[in-house]
Amino acid sequence: MSKSANPYRVAWPIALTLVALTIAMTILIIFLRLESWPARTVRQSTAELERLGKNLRAAFVDIAHLQPRITINDRVYMEQTTPVSELVVLSRRIEVEHELLHTWAGSSKRVKLHGTFIAKAGFDLRKGLSIDIRPDEIMVQLPHAQILGVEQQQMDVLAFENGLWNRISGQDVQSELSVLPELAWKKAAESELPAEAEKTLQQQLEQRIHTAQPLRLVFKDEKKSE
């Protein structure tokens, strides 16, 4: 009986050793996986942020025909390669009128003009454009929207009346013609067009870029010269 029991006495220590080795290997594998998990997570997160960077670059190329400077977690990912320019976002029709009425020695002359202009609102990107992509948000920095241009579309003469001896001169006409664009600029600047341009750009980017983190536009104020 003692001889037949010897194989069992030998087998049990071997089995226990194998079980212990298996448990040790399992623990080691789990430890290595846990140890490498932050690095793998960082790699996956960085790859996702870089994908967002490419999408944002494509969006600005599509909208503004330029590639902005893009940073990811304060690290430069893409440098600006296309010269910056103006980005027109909205256009609106502006109508203005101005009248010259002058009386001299009982004789009156009158000129009244009506002008139709197209005001363009957007961003002067020569003042700076940068994009910073972070895990918790995407921040786009650019100047406030402004009126970029006012183009004359039509000019109508509503009144052109000479006095008996107080006649309309060429200088009178030129003066009135120069006033209308100034009035159009002023009317456009006082409108809500620049604010609407900022909202429109936000909407255009959100429609092209679908992200889990919020997309925030930060508008920089111009430094006032002393």
Total number of domains in the chain? 1
pLDDT digits (tens, 9 = 90+) for 49-75: 777 777 777 777 676 666 777 777 666
Burial degree of 133 (CB within 10 A; 0-12, 13-18, 19+): buried
Backbone angles phi, psi at 56, to 5 degrees: -65, -40
CB atoms within 10 A of CB 113: 20
- Where in the sequence is the domain holding 98, given as residue range(s)? 53-220
> Is 214 domain-assigned?
yes
> Is 97 domain-assigned?
yes
Measured between alpha carbons, how far is residue 37 from residues 30, 47, 125, 160 in Å? 10, 15, 41, 82
How far apart are alpha carbons 150 and 91 in whole angstroms? 9
pLDDT, mean over the chain = 78
> Is 207 domain-assigned?
yes
Q: Helix (H, G, I), strand (E, B), or coil: what is residue 223?
A: coil
pLDDT digits (tens, 9 = 90+) for 173-201: 898 889 999 999 999 999 999 999 999 98
Angle between helical axes of 2-64 and 193-208 (0-180°, round to 10): 150
pLDDT digits (tens, 9 = 90+) for 120-153: 999 988 787 888 888 788 888 889 999 999 999 9
Q: Is the pLDDT of residue 44 over 60?
A: no
